Chain A
Amino acid sequence: MSTPALTRRTLLAGGAVLATTTLLPRPARAAGRIIAPVYPGPWEEAYRAVVLPAVKKTQDVDTVLTPLLALDQVAKVKASRSTPPFDVFLLDPGPVVVAAEDGLIDKFDPSRCKNIGNLQKSFYDDSGVAVAAQIVGIAYNPKKVERPKGWKDLFDPKYYGKVGISGFGTTFGTSSLIEISKQYGGSMTNVDPAFEQLKKWLPHVGVIAQNPVAVNTLFQQGQMDVTYTNYQTVSTLKGRGVDIEFVKPDTGPIAFYTTLHVVKNAPNKDNAYKYIDTVLSTEVQAALQKPPYNLLSVNKNVPLQPDMPTDLVKSHAELASFIHHDWRIIAPLRAGWIERFNKEIRQ
């Protein structure tokens, strides 16, 4: 029996066939498609399970989800403004300012979304629309440490070596450091007191993490038992069996909104509005709010109860009373804070 030898000719022929398959026309698509970025991890799971089928069913549009963090989305569009790689942005308040200043966001026309009436007026403007609320506070491991009460506790000797800190690179990190600063006499524009406090505390540092993904892993690995983060991250980790609880700081939790925007020069602008409209719909908002996704709804018809714990937030009115930071003021200061953080915490 002879084995077929792999000659140069067969190899070339095979290669040529493989190469041509990529050139063949793709199977006809539905009414069209949209390319939408989504935060990796729990957000991606939620959008893949809830939003994707809903957009297909109600709008007959195929969604391609690309997992990307907010700043990475801005960087990608910035690198190819005229032919952006996706149609919408999913951003937190910090990156919104950056993207808007660079002129990467298309003017948002609320009248193109049927479901906009289900939202409070403050949830949208001519740049974009809120799709989920986020609450920032303190996370701790109930099996290992006492329940912390507020921001000042992070520096309490009883937590020495157990607190993890992250810098100004994320929205929750920046917001938390601003609130810490306020406890020691600072303000939204003055974080010097936070830096002074960090400097004094550094010899007792638990962990300093450089990115949000690392924060989650470090907590799971028992590398830190107290840190600041989003409620949604805590509930996701808890759902996976991690010993973690969320605390609303005694001086008040922080709330911010994650928003969707249409990208300037988006190739599928009409579908972008269809996508946004679907995300805002009562059914989708309700499904996204349920465990395991825990994305707080912005839709008036979807009350926060009973999905959210009563001691976290009872209603949209209570959510509105949480601390809100004005990112148009913070954004220009952040570069300086990041560089200072680099220098002060470096070993």
Chain B
Amino acid sequence: MDRALQQGDPAIATPRARAPREREGWLALPLALYFCLFFLAPLALLAGISLRTTPQLEGFGLVQYAKFAGDPFNWSVLWQTLLIGVKTVALTACIGIPLGLLFMDAPRRLQPILLFIIVLPLLTSVVVRTFAWMVILGRDGLVNNALTALGVITAPLRLLHTELGLVVSLSQIEMPLMLLPLISVMSRLDPHLKDASAALGAGRWRTLFRVTLPLSLPGLLAGCLLVFASSVTAFVSQTIIGGGRMILMPFYLWQQATTLFNWPFAATIGMVLLVAVLAVVTTLNALGRRSRALVHG
């Protein structure tokens, strides 16, 4: 109870704290400059190039956007890209939530080791991770060899260069991004709430669905947001594991920029992807705010 008071009650934020905070704002200036120089300026440049009419960077107008919108192929590329993100988020959440609960129930001594295992995918290079997945999913790969040895299948399954293979490998690669926020929220939950729920007659499942999960929602949503944004733009994994028949926005952008040298159209693809991802992220964020209100309101 006292914990909820500390976080939620505006009365706690004293006026005394406000004055130094205003001065401390200046400390963020170098970061702000850094962002302006290395993030906002290139982004403005990208937007500027997307408004050029020809690959030779002449003219000015919305020609590239019209070209993008006018071809159903482009829409299906965008749709498939976002769908891959949604599927990855769904799978990551389905595996992440039980893993998070397991982590919370693990003995305290084990938790740092588990945390290390969770973060491990982030510590390996993206290229190594991706090529490892090629070895796992390939025709002579681990999965196929194991299934053949067990007599489950006679001919190797097609796993590499499929959407299923891509979603499975992406969810392994992005798992830390889901688990870290989830665990940080779960570990702040008051353990007494579970006991209270049990004392009031709720079973374990009911406690899970009515108490633990709703209270973990902010962490889950933050995780979903990170996993979505990062799986939608995972160029290396998408091209290597997805294969040549799966054309997604990052590859499409790369092809236009470095094979065809159509920079304005590449910039347009980039802007469209940016806006689409931002739209999804903003929606998730709004949901997140509502869920926080649910928790602390």
Contact = CB atoms under 8 A, between A and B. Distances in A.
Contacts of B245: 205, 208, 345-347
Contacts of B255: 169, 338, 342
B160 A223 contact: yes
B131 A342 contact: no
B134 A221 contact: yes
Interface stretch (A44-52, A185-193, A209-217, A307-315): A209-217
Given A222-B138, A223-B138, A338-B260, A217 B131 contact: yes
Contacts of B244: 165-167, 207-210, 214, 345
Contacts of B138: 221-223
B258 A223 contact: no
Interface stretch (A7-15, A71-79, A109-117, A296-304): A71-79
Contact of B161 (A78, A207, A338, A346): A207
B75 to A, nearest CB: 13
B81 to A, nearest CB: 12
A211 to B, nearest CB: 7
Contacts of B141: 221
Contact of B261 (A75, A165, A218): A75
A98 interface: yes
B155 to A, nearest CB: 9
A102 B134 CA distance: 38
Contacts of B239: 210-211, 214
Which of A165, A207, A223, A335 has the most chain B CB within a 10 Å cutoff?
A223
A200 interface: no
B246 interface: yes
A59 B247 CA distance: 47
A74 B260 CA distance: 11
A221 B135 contact: yes
Interface in B60-101: 73
Nearest to B138: A221
A214 B127 CA distance: 12
Contacts of A335: 260, 262
B243 A221 contact: no
Nearest to B77: A346
Contacts of A223: 134, 138-139, 160
Which of B134, B261, B262 has the most chain A CB within a 10 Å cutoff?
B261
Interface in A97-115: 98, 102
Interface residues of A, number: 30
Interface in B243-274: 243-247, 251-252, 255, 257-262
A71 B252 CA distance: 15
A158 interface: no
A210 B251 contact: yes
Nearest to B262: A335
Given A211-B239, A222-B140, A346 B246 contact: yes
B295 interface: no
A347 to B, nearest CB: 5
A157 B243 CA distance: 23
A334 to B, nearest CB: 8
A338 B140 contact: no
B246 A347 contact: yes
Interface string B160-193: 1100000000000000000000000000000000
Which of B73, B131, B258 has the most chain A CB within a 10 Å cutoff?
B258
A343 interface: yes
Contact of A78 (B131, B252, B261): B261
Which of A72, A167, A217, A218 has the most chain B CB within a 10 Å cutoff?
A218
Contacts of B134: 217-218, 221, 223
B131 A210 contact: no
Nearest to B263: A78
A208 B255 CA distance: 15
B243 A71 contact: no
A343 B252 CA distance: 11
Nearest to B131: A217
Contacts of A210: 239, 243-244, 251
Nearest to A98: B261
B258 A207 contact: no
Contacts of A345: 244-245
A71 B138 CA distance: 29
Contact of A346 (B135, B139, B247, B259): B247
7 contacts: A207-B161, A210-B239, A214-B239, A221-B139, A223-B160, A338-B259, A342-B255
* Shortest beta-carbon contacts, A-B, top 10: A208-B244, A222-B140, A210-B244, A221-B138, A347-B245, A75-B258, A335-B260, A208-B245, A169-B259, A210-B239
Interface of A: 71-72, 74-75, 78, 98, 102, 165-167, 169, 205, 207-211, 214, 217-218, 221-223, 335, 338, 342-343, 345-347
